[in-house]
């Protein structure tokens, strides 16, 4: 396949290439050596509007083009894999809303992701189950206009720093993939019952925040469910198709 970049994409590639060379590459070794999440890189992305790349213009984004996003991620990864992952996961965490969110959810939540005011994460995998819906143990029980979510997730990139997290949970434990639903957890790090434990000792990309999430009766408004009950696995697979 012959993929040619247009003038805008070429300009974005050069801008990100210069940024990666001048600002990020000099930090890369230190980020990996200390294993500390690079908030200064997040601030840099905010200033340069890089977080806007995955999102449509109507929500404060720049393009929504997967090709444009990947051009930027490639240039960042040449300098620092941790920094590239920050941008990639911002897109990953926003895709469930872009794919299946209601107009109200998109208007309320996507602008903060596009600006980088809030970071996002995508919580599907579980200890002992991976991404297998049949083995998913996280449960979401409905109580009037709220869901109460209990369970654990593992290997969640940016799980310990993200504000807005898409969490997948079983609303019907008797079903396999058809029993999974998707929820947006807002202000996650401040939420009662939510705890993120950062995983240390990785072989590489140490500055990237990787976490195990514990949800102990976390209350989420029903308005934060993405799609209908039972749509979660379909949404998850569409997100992975797009992001990979």
Q: Which of 166, 149, 37, 155 is nearest to 96 (CA)?
A: 166
Same domain, 102 and 164: no
Is residue 220 situated within a structural domain?
yes
Domain that holds residue 12: 7-115
Same domain, 88 and 183: no
Report pLDDT for 4: 87
Is pTM, for the whole model, over 0.75? yes
How far apart (Å, rounded) are the C-alpha atoms in residues 47 and 42? 9
Report pLDDT for 242: 75
How far apart (Å, rounded) are the C-alpha atoms in residues 145 and 196? 26
**Structural domains of the chain, count:** 2
Report pLDDT for 152: 97
Same domain, 91 and 21: yes
Report pLDDT for 129: 75
Report pLDDT for 148: 98
Same domain, 58 and 146: no
Is residue 2 situated within a structural domain?
no
Report pLDDT for 1: 61
Report pLDDT for 135: 82
- Intervals of the chain under pLDDT 50: none
Instruction: Provide the 8-state DSSP code for 208.
Output: S
b/e for 146-174, b at 16 or more Cβ within 10 A? ebbbbbbbbbbbbbbbbbbbbbbbbbeee
Same domain, 16 and 64: yes
Report pLDDT for 65: 86
């Amino acid at each position: 396949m012959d993929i040619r970049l247009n003038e805008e994409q070429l300009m974005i590639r050069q801008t990100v290439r210069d940024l990666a060379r001048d600002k990020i590459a000099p930090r890369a070794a230190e980020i990996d050596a200390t294993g500390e999440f690079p908030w200064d890189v997040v601030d840099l992305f905010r200033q340069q509007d890089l977080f806007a790349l995955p999102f449509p213009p109507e929500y404060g984004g720049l393009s929504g083009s997967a090709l444009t996003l990947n051009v930027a991620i490639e240039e960042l990864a040449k300098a620092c894999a941790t920094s590239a992952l920050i941008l990639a996961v911002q897109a990953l965490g926003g895709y469930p809303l872009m794919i299946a969110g209601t107009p109200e959810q998109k208007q309320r939540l996507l602008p903060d992701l596009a600006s980088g005011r809030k970071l996002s994460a995508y919580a599907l995998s579980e200890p002992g189950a991976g991404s297998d819906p049949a083995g998913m143990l996280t449960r979401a029980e409905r109580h009037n206009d709220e869901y109460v979510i209990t369970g654990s997730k593992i290997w969640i990139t940016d799980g310990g720093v993200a504000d807005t997290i898409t969490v997948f949970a079983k609303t019907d434990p008797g079903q396999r993939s058809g029993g999974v639903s998707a929820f947006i957890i807002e202000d996650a790090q401040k939420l009662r019952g939510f705890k993120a434990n950062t995983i240390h000792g990785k072989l590489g990309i140490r500055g990237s925040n990787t976490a195990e999430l514990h949800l102990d009766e976390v209350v989420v408004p029903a308005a934060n469910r993405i799609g209908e009950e039972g749509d979660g696995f379909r949404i998850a697979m569409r997100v992975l198709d797009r992001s990979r």
